[in-house]
Structure 1
Amino acid sequence: MSAEIREDLDIAVVGLAGRFPGAENGTEFWRNLLMGVDGISRFTEEELLQAGHDIKKIGHKDFVPVNGVLEGANYFDAAFFGYSQAEAALLDPQTRLMMQCVWHALENAGIDPAKRGRNIGLFLGARSTVPWTMQAMLSEQVENVGGFLASQLANKDAMSTLISWKLGLEGPSFTLQTACSTSLVSVHQAVQSLLSGECDFAVAGGVSLLLPQQNGHTYQEGMLFSKDGKTRAFDAEATGSVFGSGLGAVVLRRVGEAIADNDPIWAILKGSAINNDGARKVGYTAPSVKGQADVIRTALQMAEVDAADVDFIECHGTATSLGDSIEFMALREIFNQSRSFGVNQCALGSVKTNIGHLDSAAGIAGFIKMVMAIRYGVIPPMLHFQSPNPQLGLEQSPFYINTCAEPWPAKSGKLRIGAVSSFGIGGTNAHIVLQQSIFASDISASAISRPERGGNGDKTYYFPFSAKNKASLALQLESVSHWLVQQSYLDLHALSHTLSQRHCFSCRIMFIADAKGDCRNLESDPWH
């Protein structure tokens, strides 16, 4: 496998954003993954009663009071996005969250949707929120906005078109639903739209908000939910998943255009595939070895990647006896076919062990994890893993599970390659193959300096910031300052380029810096 870029087939990941249990942004998410942080919350009886749960429910001997909580899920700047307070009160909470996430992903990519000639597609998914829709339609706010508009605002299926309307996105825009694989399928759909020329940029992702968030589940043997409140993927003591809330979005672009515009590239998407198990399984909710193996094989073929070149797989990893066994058998079927694959050469991971099962957002969480692992050259640890499920035969397989963060060096003459799986109840499977960007090959999590690529000590960089008011601008600068302190590597050119491409608001400030990182405020009129 060479590092050759296929301009007609490869897709660049040029931006991302996400919020997950225990992580308000991508930087915190990556830090938690490296440190092995369990983002799941455990609740007291008092907290559950205050959240409206029945005492009989929470007093049941098999009730497990845990859930992955998304902090600040009720915050929404309605005026920023052009919504009245009445409209915002009716808007599906998942749409509120996703609108902010899409905006942040576009900012991360340095894309101003208001600039003309930018054909941006939007591909999103969300979990079912029938109770919210019913509650919203009975609200007195319906009279203030009108019945028809209220029905759209309260409907999670209108999410993509509502966001496209408010942000001015003119490419294909639709909301999809394939259960747990929803958000990874959305990435595949975005790729297909880019390759067919329907759009020039594509934002893909998903959201899952489980209300009330102070919640738990009742364990039933052999079902989806964990007995001990831990998600132990591929472990001998696995009993199921913990569930939670979260969301993420990525910005994609045809690789040739990203290179031409000097876009910072997080990773290269080499190939993707989706399919359905059909009738190749014992029941509607059961997975299929053949279906999963087929989708993995197809994605590898599209990527023109041999299984032996894959170093790390972000698995679906639900920690259920049936689910883990089927997924492992499908992986073995594909990877054992590679003659050059030895024993214990490819790491397996599951982000569900950190943040729980995020339902419609599960796939995008795994995708963002893999993108970061590839970019920074570190394989995060699998949480709660003590000994392998003896039914899997892990020791004699091509796979292994690391319980500590480990360096992920590029193989001799080759770049880092990883893959992501997501499988939905109902049988829709998705698999995506990602490769390290050759333009970020010098970045690693172990870097202790902040080199300026190219080494031009006389280079001057401009860092513009803007917001709708001074208070927002001050918060933005504080956030950026906090982020800068945490960076072990900083590409000044990439940062300057991204900031200069963002949407420009009326309240502005600019900083300038040289290649050494010495920075000062540019005392001048607002920049243009």
Structure 2
Amino acid sequence: MSVDDYEGDEIAVIGIAARVPGAPDAAAFWRNLLDGVDSIRDYTADELRAAGVPESLLSHPDYVRSAGHLDDLDRFDAEFFGYPPEEAALIDPQHRLFLQTAWTVLEDGGYDVTRCDGSVGVFAGAAANQYLLRHLLPGRHSPLGPDGRLAPGHTPDYLPARVSYKLGLTGPSVAVQTACSSSLVAVALAAQALQDFRCDLAIAGGVAVTATTPSGYLATEAGVLSRDGRCRSFDADASGSAPAGGAGAVLLKRLADAQEDGDHVYAVLRGWAVTNEGAGRAGFLTPGVDGQAAAVTEALAAAELAPETLGFLEISGGGTAVGDAMEVAGLHRAFAAAGGEPTHCVLGCVKANVGNLDAASGIAGLIKAVLAVHTGTIPANPNFAVRNPEIDFTQGGFSVAEKTAPWPEVHAIRRAGVTAISMNGTNAHVVVEEPPPRPIVESDGTRCELVVSARTPELVTVAARRLADHLRAHPDLALADVAYTLGVGRRAFGYHAIVDAATLSEACSALDGELAIERAEPELVPGAGRRVPLPGYPFAGERHWVEPPREGGADRPNGRNE
């Protein structure tokens, strides 16, 4: 089946957003992947002491001083989302992260939801609220009432509803809680909702904050946490992965609608499946092979694709010798069940770059696969040197992405599979395909007005500089498309600047220069054009944080702690 043989029920990925260790946005994430960057951070003993880690842990021989660190976790643009500082300081940082991620993914898709028809759904999962456990419950900010009940809003169940409320979205708002597979299961549910016409756009993804302060962990011999803080998927020295935090989302739409509306399509979701291992495994927290194989087989069947057409497989890959071997064994079994065998299929695992993102692991892997099929480049898998002898590579076909390389030439159409596995047995697999060709539109020299709007004059300048950097990095963009996207896909705020230009070079010079910023909401009247990805809103990011109680003291009582 070729990209011209669509049956009308395929789902398009029209927006992406991510914030992961070492990368504040999806573009930086992709650059790190292409460069094979390992973004796990090694903390110093002094950093950990300052964060309250006791000496008994620091001196423990099995304590690993590493994690996937998120910068500025304590910062949030509360005013942008209408939260007073005191309330913002009590909100789960996961909710705050995903709120901004959801806004960004809508902008990346070119949509201001106040000016588009149809309903928008939200499908998302989150990890446990560590901020509640470590910062709020032990101190004077405890959200427990006098009857011992927890006030609403502090659990992962409220994540998608908070997004729907703050952004004014009226489609299905569904919390997905399947541990490490949550965000990829959310994608499958969102895609199905679109196929069933339950909504017209869908935000799908997840978020995890596994540590709210710098901290390491205790590695155990039979555990899933790495003994040296590094995830070595497929490698002979694999011993697990490091815990990490992050957030990611995709914006989904029915492909036929996306093409009709002139949307930018990163990739197409051809098939998806969600399964559970049931009782057929060694223990409740022990993944099995059958359920993993069933998810892959079912997704391929839904996509009506032969397994040998896949050129890349982004696996869950926890980086343990046994776990990785089981997952590859499941792939062999799935391919055989589907009547094929791998043909130059490259394996990768994003955990080797950013660590285990818990509920956000699946969406990070999906975004990697989406950008791989979109660009035709498969990123290197870091920390791989010697093949894990437990993995059966003798059947041929599978190889590890040892360096960043072009898509295998044997595959005429770029297709990838993405797997997310949970210790609770719920597995998901999604089949991703390169987008249909989009005609190239060259600028014809017509002058265009680029409108940049933000809540403050300073942020207008920041947004303009970011737009200029983006245009320089993407010289193939048509200026009319840029102007159109700014006109239809951005909210009008209290300050704005207008740049008049006939070429990208002229636009960049003007955006970098002295801007005539007006204190008024701009009139966004777009001309003809198509939606293209552009930088999102530059959130202000003030500090809203309750410090965890320390021995002999209490948490700080104010919402904005400097």
TM-score by length of 1: 0.91
Say which of 433, 436, 448 aligns to 1:435.
433
Deviations 1:461-485 (A, max 9, x none): 4432211121121121222233334
Pair 1:136–1:63, CA change in 2 (3 A): closer
1:252 partnered with 2:252: yes
CA distance in 1, matches of 2:422, 2:186: 13
1:475 partnered with 2:462: yes
Query: Could you say which residue in structure 2 is the equivalent of 1:401?
Result: 400
| Deviation of the 1:130 alpha carbon | 5.5
3-state SS of paired residue (1:394): coil
Deviations 1:436-483 (A, max 9, x none): 11135x9xxxxxxxxxx2345344444322111211211212222333
Query: Could you say which residue in structure 2 is the equivalent of 1:243?
Result: 243
CA distance in 1, matches of 2:317, 2:381: 11
Deviations 1:225-256 (A, max 9, x none): 11122100011111111111111011000111
Q: Any conservation in 2 of the 1:347–1:402 contact (CA below 8 Å)?
A: yes
CA distance in 2, matches of 1:473, 1:141: 36
What fraction of aligned residue pairs are identical, expressed as a percent?
35
Pair 1:46–1:379, CA change in 2 (3 A): same
CA distance in 1, matches of 2:148, 2:196: 34
CA distance in 1, matches of 2:201, 2:505: 32
Query: Could you say which residue in structure 2 is the equivalent of 1:185?
Result: 185
Query: Could you say which residue in structure 1 is the equivalent of 2:453?
Result: 466
Question: Which residue type is aligned with residue 290 of structure 2?
Answer: K
| Deviation of the 1:280 alpha carbon | 1.1
Structure 1 residues without counterparts, runs of 5 or longer: 443-452
CA distance in 2, matches of 1:377, 1:194: 27
| Deviation of the 1:346 alpha carbon | 0.3
Deviations 1:279-304 (A, max 9, x none): 11110111111111111011011111
| Deviation of the 1:488 alpha carbon | 6.1
Q: How many matched pairs?
A: 514
CA distance in 2, matches of 1:241, 1:338: 31
Q: Any conservation in 1 of the 2:126–2:207 contact (CA below 8 Å)?
A: yes
CA distance in 2, matches of 1:215, 1:195: 43
Pair 1:226–1:137, CA change in 2 (3 A): closer
Deviations 1:178-221 (A, max 9, x none): 01101000101111111111111000111111223411121211
CA distance in 2, matches of 1:218, 1:139: 26
Query: Could you say which residue in structure 1 is the equivalent of 2:418?
Result: 420
| Deviation of the 1:257 alpha carbon | 0.8
CA distance in 2, matches of 1:339, 1:464: 54
Query: Could you say which residue in structure 1 is the equivalent of 2:378?
Result: 379
| Deviation of the 1:375 alpha carbon | 1.1
Q: CA RMSD in A?
A: 2.6
Pair 1:118–1:513, CA change in 2 (3 A): farther
3-state SS of paired residue (2:419): strand
Query: Could you say which residue in structure 1 is the equivalent of 2:506?
Result: 518
Pair 1:516–1:158, CA change in 2 (3 A): closer
1:457 partnered with 2:455: no
Pair 1:497–1:418, CA change in 2 (3 A): farther
Question: Which residue type is aligned with residue 302 of structure 1?
Answer: A
Query: Could you say which residue in structure 1 is the equivalent of 2:195?
Result: 195
CA distance in 1, matches of 2:258, 2:401: 34
Query: Could you say which residue in structure 2 is the equivalent of 1:359?
Result: 358
1:10 partnered with 2:5: no
CA distance in 2, matches of 1:460, 1:312: 43
Pair 1:205–1:511, CA change in 2 (3 A): same
Query: Could you say which residue in structure 2 is the equivalent of 1:265?
Result: 265
Pair 1:493–1:347, CA change in 2 (3 A): farther
| Deviation of the 1:258 alpha carbon | 0.6
Query: Could you say which residue in structure 1 is the equivalent of 2:530?
Result: none
| Deviation of the 1:19 alpha carbon | 0.4
| Deviation of the 1:5 alpha carbon | 5.3
CA distance in 1, matches of 2:473, 2:63: 39
Q: Any conservation in 2 of the 1:265–1:439 contact (CA below 8 Å)?
A: no
Pair 1:150–1:461, CA change in 2 (3 A): farther
The 5 A counterparts of 1:146-157 are 151-157=151-157
CA distance in 2, matches of 1:428, 1:283: 14
| Deviation of the 1:494 alpha carbon | 4.4
Query: Could you say which residue in structure 1 is the equivalent of 2:492?
Result: 504
Deviations 1:496-526 (A, max 9, x none): 3332222222312233443665325797984
CA distance in 1, matches of 2:167, 2:336: 47
Structure 2 residues without counterparts, runs of 5 or longer: 525-562
Deviations 1:254-282 (A, max 9, x none): 11111111001111111111010001111
CA distance in 2, matches of 1:114, 1:147: 41
Pair 1:136–1:373, CA change in 2 (3 A): same
Deviations 1:402-430 (A, max 9, x none): 21110126657x42111110001110000
Query: Could you say which residue in structure 2 is the equivalent of 1:445?
Result: none
Range with greater deviation from structure 2 (227-236 or 460-469): 460-469
1:91 partnered with 2:87: no
CA distance in 2, matches of 1:371, 1:257: 19
1:527 partnered with 2:515: no
CA distance in 2, matches of 1:119, 1:136: 36
3-state SS of paired residue (1:243): coil
Query: Could you say which residue in structure 2 is the equivalent of 1:350?
Result: 349
Question: Which residue type is aligned with residue 510 of structure 1?
Answer: I
Question: Which residue type is aligned with residue 435 of structure 1?
Answer: E
TM-score by length of 2: 0.86
CA distance in 2, matches of 1:12, 1:435: 10
3-state SS of paired residue (1:232): coil
Deviations 1:348-390 (A, max 9, x none): 0000000000000000100111111111111000111011111
